[in-house]
Structure formats: C-alpha cells, structure tokens
C-alpha cells in the first residue's frame, strides 16, 4: 500500500548557508529514532524529506508513528502512495479510490480533494486535478453499500491529498503532527532545573524544540521528599527523552542546605536564599558539562519567588544565562501544553518536591539584592556548593527505561 513516508519541516527551510547542516541533523535524528523499527532509505527536496521503506507497508506501525511524532524539526508527516511524476489522471484516480477505503470509516462521510502542484510541468493544474479526482471518487462509490461519500470543501471529515512533485506524485489521506521547531542538537547544551511540577517539563520541552540538548538537574531533600517524588522526576525525564534522546538526570541532595537556611536565617527570605543556592549549584554543574545556559519553569507572578524583584535577585546568583520560556505564559496554557506532551498526569502526582517544603507563612516577594547578600554572609557558600557538586548522583534515562547510574 504505502511506498513512502512524506515528511514536512517548517522553519528549518528558512535557514541560509547552514541549511545543509540543519537538514543533516534532522536526517541523522530520524535515522537514529526510526532505524530500530524500519529498514529504509532517504531522499530530499526543498521542504520535504522522503522516507522509502524497503518494500511496501500495508499499514504504518505505531512504533514508526511514535518515532517521527517525537522528532524535533518535523512539522508533520504522511504515509503515502508514490506514483511516477508523469502518471496520468486515470492512474491518480485508481490509486485515490484504492486508498480511501483503507483509511475512511464505513457509512456516510464528507470528503475533499486538495492538490499541491509543485511540479509546474505537470499538464493539469491543482484545481483541475482536485475536481477530476473528486468526481472520480463520487462515481466509484456511487453504488457502494459500505461508503457514502459527499463533498464538503469547508469542513470535510477526510481529506484526499495529491502532492505533485518533480520526483513523483504522492497520494495520502493522513497527516500526523510532529513537534516542529529545530532538529535536536542544532543549538547548544543547557541544564534544565526539573522540579517535578507542571511548569518545568513544559519549559524543557519548549527549549528542546529549539534544538537545545538538555541535561536535567533535580534537587532532592530526603527524608522530606521520598523515593516516590524522585521516581516522578525520573518519569518526567523519560517523557522528555522522547524528544531529547537519552538524558542525564543529576540528583542533588540539598537537605543540609535547606535546614541551615531554615534554622539560622529569617524565614521570610528562605525561598529566595534557597533558590540562589540552587542557582550556584546549577551554574557549577552546567559549567562542568559545557552547558551554555540554565532553563527554568518560572512564570511571572505565579509564586512568591517569581515576582520580577525575586527573579532579579535569584538570577544574580547564576553565572550563566537563564532561559525562562514560560515567563509570560498563562497557567492554563501551560497545563494544556503539559497534557499535549504527556507530562501533566505525572506532574500532578501528590508527591512534594523540595520547593513545596519549609514554606514560610509570609515569604518576601520583593527581596532586595543588597539585603539578601548581607544574610548570605552567615552561610559558608563556597563550601556548601562544593559539597553539593561533589555529592551529585547521575542517572542516564531513555524514553523506555533507565540505562545506567553513577553515584
């Protein structure tokens, strides 16, 4: 049935002199993800990648769909029948009516034919092809007991598409969405502060879509946060690894730091002081890893540590640029994206993270940097950061399961 998988990309096509480099990164990522479940070869033209399986596919396996669905840089893809570039209208009609029953449910159904004629040498224009193919469908199924097709050009239930190109004519009825953005690894590395909540996985996903390769850092406070909270973070990392590829998760035990701050310093400043310590630890790890920045799920005004004044004071503790892709996002939009990428149900598990513990009754919302630095004089910051970095645990997590652990 299907001889080709037609892959579309978006802003990748806007690249100039480095287009070939970006396209090759996408091809390499597709090969890495698709290789275990399909033997295939590639062809490319501007705006399209053609995946040719070795032998026709009667249907598209779920493993193939998942592999392409999670590939950054892919906007959409379609399993297609490929015909020669000079195929006549009769053959186009034959294959169209052959394909429709394979993908359309039985009974009454509205349809539309759309044609993209990139090959301007083909003797019929897009409108002519669409009209003739639509008429062919109506004639073919006029007396059918299984299918009752009716044309609806505004809101059809199924779309029969013809993509007329120099290297062939492609016929398809399905479009699967990909994540879009840029191919994996085409930007620099960054460190994601993964808390276990709703926001940080979405922030990580948005950065991955920009071609950034992520490493994750989770701050753990045993015994106040237990194994189930840590497993939640592992599961979130597994989901993000669908897009990011195998991902290192670093675990930092900051129980001692949190106790020192809570016991010895004004509790109204405890969140600000703790997050500044997190930034120092994250900066140290990021520099060791060669990461160019730190990613957080901060959103303006959502909690006390995310007022503009708090963000400024906390950011000052980082030696690297902070990326906050959700800074102006509405919470409901963040939740919607979390559902789309399958992290929401994990994030709402009722296991607290370190940022939800030791919360003061009246956290300061406009901490002045000068005052915070004065309070930090009572902390041995260099010693605490060094100890935290030396005690980091590393786990490598894939989209399927953990692949290794270092302590």
According to the annotation, is 218 in a ligand binding site? yes
Q: Is the peptide bond preceding residue 245 cis, with omega within 30 degrees of 0?
A: no
DSSP symbol at 210? B
User: Which secondary-structure segment (H or E) carries 74?
Assistant: strand 74-83
* CA separation for the pair 386, 332 (Å, rounded): 39
CA-to-CA dists, residue 259 to 33, 267, 355, 382, 388, angstroms: 44, 11, 13, 17, 14
Q: Give the contacts of 169 (CB within 8 A, at least 6 positions apart).
A: 82, 83, 84, 85, 87, 92, 122, 162, 163
Please give the backbone phi and psi of residue 144, each rounded to the nearest 5 degrees, phi first.
-75, 140
* Number of other CB atoms surrounding residue 183 within 10 Å: 24
**Measured at the alpha carbon of residue 37, what is the angle toward residues 32 and 39, in degrees to the nearest 5?**
80
3-state secondary structure of 324: coil
274 annotated to a ligand binding site: no
Torsion angles phi and psi, residue 354, rounded to 5: -65, -25
Residues, the chain? 407
Is 275 annotated in a binding site? The answer is yes
22 is in an annotated binding site: no
Helical (H) or strand (E) element with 51 = strand 48-53
**Residue 407 token pair:** 């302590």
Rounded to 5°, angle at Cα 85 from 79 and 87: 95
58 annotated as ligand-binding: no
CA-wise closest residue to 207 among 232, 222, 189: 189
Contact 250, 394 (CB under 8 A): yes
Any binding-site annotation on 193?
yes
Which of 46, 47, 48 is CA-nearest to residue 4? 48
Largest CA distance in the chain: 86
Residue ranges for the known binding site are 193-194, 218-219, 275, 297, 306
Residue ranges for the known binding site for ATP are 193-194, 218-219, 275, 297, 306
């Amino acid at each position: 049935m299907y001889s080709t998988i037609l892959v579309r990309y978006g802003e990748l096509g806007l690249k100039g002199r480095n287009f070939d480099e970006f396209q090759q990164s996408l091809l390499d990522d597709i090969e890495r993800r698709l290789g275990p479940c399909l033997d295939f070869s590639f062809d490319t033209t501007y705006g399209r990648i053609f995946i040719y399986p070795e032998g026709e596919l009667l249907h598209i396996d779920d493993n193939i769909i998942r592999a392409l669905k999670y590939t950054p840089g892919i906007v959409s893809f379609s399993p297609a029948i490929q015909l020669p570039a000079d195929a006549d209208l009769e053959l186009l009609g034959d294959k169209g009516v052959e394909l429709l029953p394979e993908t359309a449910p039985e009974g009454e159904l509205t349809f539309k034919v759309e044609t993209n004629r990139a090959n301007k040498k083909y003797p019929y224009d897009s409108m002519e092809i669409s009209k003739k193919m639509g008429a062919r469908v109506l004639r073919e199924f006029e007396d059918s007991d299984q299918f009752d097709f009716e044309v609806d050009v505004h809101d059809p239930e199924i779309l029969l598409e013809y993509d007329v190109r120099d290297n062939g004519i492609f016929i398809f009825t399905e479009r699967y969405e990909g994540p879009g953005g840029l191919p994996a690894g085409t930007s620099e590395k960054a460190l994601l502060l993964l808390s276990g909540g709703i926001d940080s996985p979405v922030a990580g996903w948005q950065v991955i879509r920009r071609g950034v390769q992520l490493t994750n850092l989770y701050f753990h406070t045993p015994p106040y946060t237990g194994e189930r909270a840590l497993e939640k973070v592992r599961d979130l990392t597994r989901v993000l690894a669908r897009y990011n590829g195998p991902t290192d998760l670093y675990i930092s035990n900051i129980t001692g730091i949190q106790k020192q701050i809570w016991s010895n310093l004004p509790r109204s400043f405890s969140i600000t002081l703790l997050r500044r310590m997190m930034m120092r630890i994250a900066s140290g790890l990021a520099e060791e890893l060669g990461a160019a920045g730190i990613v957080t799920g901060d959103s303006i005004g959502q909690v006390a540590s995310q007022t503009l004044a708090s963000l400024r004071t906390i950011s000052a503790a980082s030696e690297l640029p902070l990326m906050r892709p959700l800074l102006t996002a509405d919470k409901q939009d963040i939740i919607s994206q979390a559902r789309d990428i399958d992290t929401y149900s994990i994030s709402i598990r009722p296991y607290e993270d370190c940022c939800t513990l030791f919360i003061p009754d009246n956290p300061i919302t406009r901490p002045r940097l000068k005052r915070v630095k004065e309070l930090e004089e009572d902390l041995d910051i260099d010693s605490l950061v060094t100890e935290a970095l030396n005690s980091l645990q590393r786990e490598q997590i894939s989209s399927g399961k953990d692949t290794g652990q270092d302590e």
